[in-house]
Amino acid sequence: MATLHTVNKTGQPLELCLRALNAGDNVLLLEEGVYALYEASDVLSDLLKHVAVYVLEADVLARGMTNRDNLDIGMVDYQGFVELTEANDKVVSWF
Amino acid sequence: MATLHTVNKTGQPLELCLRALNAGDNVLLLEEGVYALYEASDVLSDLLKHVAVYVLEADVLARGMTNRDNLDIGMVDYQGFVELTEANDKVVSWF
Amino acid sequence: MSQTLCIISTQAPYRGQFAKEALDAALVSATYDIPTSLLLMGDGVYQILDGQSPEQLGRKNLSSMFQSLELYGIETVYVDGESLEERNLDPEQLLPLYTLLEGDAVASFLAQHDKVLSF
Amino acid sequence: MSQTLCIISTQAPYRGQFAKEALDAALVSATYDIPTSLLLMGDGVYQILDGQSPEQLGRKNLSSMFQSLELYGIETVYVDGESLEERNLDPEQLLPLYTLLEGDAVASFLAQHDKVLSF
Amino acid sequence: MKYALAVYGAASTGQSSLTALSFARALLVSGHEVMRVFFYQEGVHNATSLTSPPQDEQNLPEQWQRLIAEHDIDAVVCIAAALRRGVVSVDEAERYELSASNLREGYELSGLGQLLEAAVEADRLVTFGD
Amino acid sequence: MKYALAVYGAASTGQSSLTALSFARALLVSGHEVMRVFFYQEGVHNATSLTSPPQDEQNLPEQWQRLIAEHDIDAVVCIAAALRRGVVSVDEAERYELSASNLREGYELSGLGQLLEAAVEADRLVTFGD
């Protein structure tokens, strides 16, 4: 019963997502959620011990972000987003 | 050259307002900015040493807020809001 | 097998129609006989602050909507305890119709539902 | 006496039209010969992150709009230094067209303008 | 004093449209002049004639229109913002070959210059954002 | 698999309308079924026929309509949310005596039940909020 969590902003959406995660869940950062790469790289480092984290490529490139701190994060396109929703039993959106 | 700052949310709008204040300015908390009464009462206490802070009555009452911590804050109606814009030279909105 | 639904409401009341439209969804869900839970997190916990008077804003009081949930079979509203603490909210300030989820309980609570609809 | 205007832009790029509509306002203000300053604060500082490729989102690149400001007489963009630090942004990651306001400088900068328009 | 107001929020988003309307009313009661209300961003939705909210909810676009008519306020809707969001006058509907128009009477579609002109001419500029 | 999508954002606010559209396209490429797209809150503005953005900007309502037509997707606009915001069909315009209608072809105005029905019937429910 794993869940995909999408996070579209840092701030409240990211914070709430963190306390709703079960081991084995997946997190996908999209839209302004990709700013977590800079604003919350410590939080993401910690998080990666328990769950897999992905970023949506189009949103990362649009904003000029890079995986500057070499976090162990997967980059997916919309097709990859679809695959994440297939691989998990349900989707929870945090916005 | 005093300024009235309106703040309609805690979070970024309140934070940015804090660093834009000059001594003698006025701050008016409105809409969801009135939640600062609970979420940021320490910050407001500090702030009150340098500037006068007001809350918009309709927004406080609508949300069931009270001045629980007895902060030295003035409650104004829309007429009072108008008077604050008269008394200051300009208005800066943080949202 | 009947699917269970959790509706998560994370926005403050009277910020546009977010809170009201989440409550509408919960009520309609219950009338469709879908086992429905309503979970308040983040600024959503302000929705059950007692003593709201939004009439001056020309808005309907959410309290009466919360109180009518029970008539539709939604017996309680789930509330994230950490969100209350962050906002320095005391239980006595809230409408007495909620069940507190403390610590890890939010994560396991969500895992119990088949579908989640966020607001 | 000609009035001076400060336009404050506090939202991230590509979040709706906020950033673009603020830039539009700055350009139009300059064409009206209003002495205009553009100040980026909060998430607004992300607007001048170098290397943006919003074409996949079907959006116009803001960089070229920033670069055209100078043609309209807006020689520099003011940036709140604290907002850069909070976001762990290095100056080398930014388009080289800004002036940093550090510490109390934001407050005194605002005080120098007659009118302020927020976005 | 002369006030210019900039309204960025729709009636249904945030609360800024209502706050701006209440502030405008208070200004007029105090004897001030509202020289211009400029509707920008989502604020352009305040000028649509097609809203019909439930009976127990206020119709903010209707209330704006009434205030604007009663006090002969110069109400300007940003034309670029409005076209992007589907708020159009009869003229614009014709020009862009749209099936209908939905701009309330009493509003003018015009450019951003109207906002900046008002910003510097007014004694006070107040922005209402969500 | 069968997917149900809930779209809360207008084309001009946030980015959720575009994200949802791109996701829907990818679903169809992957051979999934989009059983329903439900437009709620500000998302109802995606169904207006009156947008005309600048040439160099995409017209998201038009792109949604094309996808919905090509793949015969059940596109439902929440009727209460739409009436409140000024998005109306010919029938609703008549009923409420409005001067025009602006709902694109291919969309149905209906109740929230359509969202909840889809939520439980679909294999996956994905919410796109601003």
* pLDDT (tens digit per residue) in F91-102: 999 999 999 999
| Mean pLDDT for the stretch of residues B29-47 | 97
Rg (Cα) of chain E, in Å, rounded? Answer: 14
Q: Are B65 and C88 within 8 A, CB to CB? A: no
Residues of F in contact with C31 (CB under 8 A): 113
Question: C105 CB contacts (<8 Å, ≥6 apart)?
Answer: none
Residue of D nearest to E5 (CA): D117
Contact E101, E93 (CB under 8 A): yes
CA-based nearest distance C97→chain E, Å: 25
Convert the pLDDT of each residue in A41-64 to its tens digit: 999 999 999 999 999 999 999 999
Q: Which residues of F are catalytic?
A: 78
Q: Domain residues for A73?
A: 3-94
Strand, helix or coil for residue D1? coil
Count other Cβ atoms within 10 Å, centred on residue E27.
Answer: 24
Query: In the structure, do chain E and chain A come into contact, i.e. share 3 or more CB pairs under 8 Å?
Result: no
Residues of A in contact with F7 (CB under 8 A): none
E49 touching chain F per CB within 8 A = yes
pLDDT at position A30 over 70: yes
Give kind and range of the element (H or E) at residue E118. helix E113-121
Residues of A in contact with B12 (CB under 8 A): 11
- DSSP structure class, residue F6: E
Residue of D nearest to A36 (CA): D87
User: What is the per-residue pLDDT for D56?
Assistant: 87
CA-based nearest distance F127→chain A, Å: 6
In the set E7, E78, E87, E115, the catalytic residue is: E78
User: What is the per-residue pLDDT for C1?
Assistant: 54
Convert the pLDDT of each residue in F10-46 to its tens digit: 998 889 999 999 999 999 999 999 999 999 999 999 9
Q: Give the residue ranges of chain D where pLDDT is below 70.
A: 1
pTM over 0.90: yes
Query: Which residues 30-89 in chain C show a CB within 8 A of chain E?
Result: 57-60
Q: Are B91 and E127 within 8 A, CB to CB? A: yes
Please report the ipTM that was assigned to this predicted complex: 0.96
All chains having 3 or more CB pairs closer than 8 angstroms to chain F:
A, C, D, E
Q: What is the CATH number of the domain that holds B71?
A: 3.40.1260.10
Count of domains for chain A: 1
Query: In the structure, do chain F and chain C come into contact, i.e. share 3 or more CB pairs under 8 Å?
Result: yes
Convert the pLDDT of each residue in C37-53 to its tens digit: 999 999 999 999 999 99
How far apart are the C-alpha atoms of D105 and D40, rounded to whole Å?
13
pLDDT at position F106 over 60: yes
Domains delineated in chain C:
5-118 (3.40.1260.10)
How far apart are the C-alpha atoms of C50 and C41, rounded to whole Å?
17
Select from D41, D32, D35, D50 the least CA-distant residue to D12. Answer: D41
Q: What is the Cα F18 distance to its own chain's centre?
A: 11
User: What is the per-residue pLDDT for B77?
Assistant: 98
How far apart are the C-alpha atoms of E55 and E79, rounded to whole Å?
31
Residue spans of alpha helices (H) in E7-98? 16-29, 60-70, 79-85, 90-95
Domains delineated in chain F:
2-128 (3.40.1260.10)
All chains having 3 or more CB pairs closer than 8 angstroms to chain D:
A, B, E, F
Residues of C in contact with B39 (CB under 8 A): 86-88
E14 touching chain D per CB within 8 A = no
Residues of F in contact with A91 (CB under 8 A): 124-127
User: What is the per-residue pLDDT for C2?
Assistant: 81
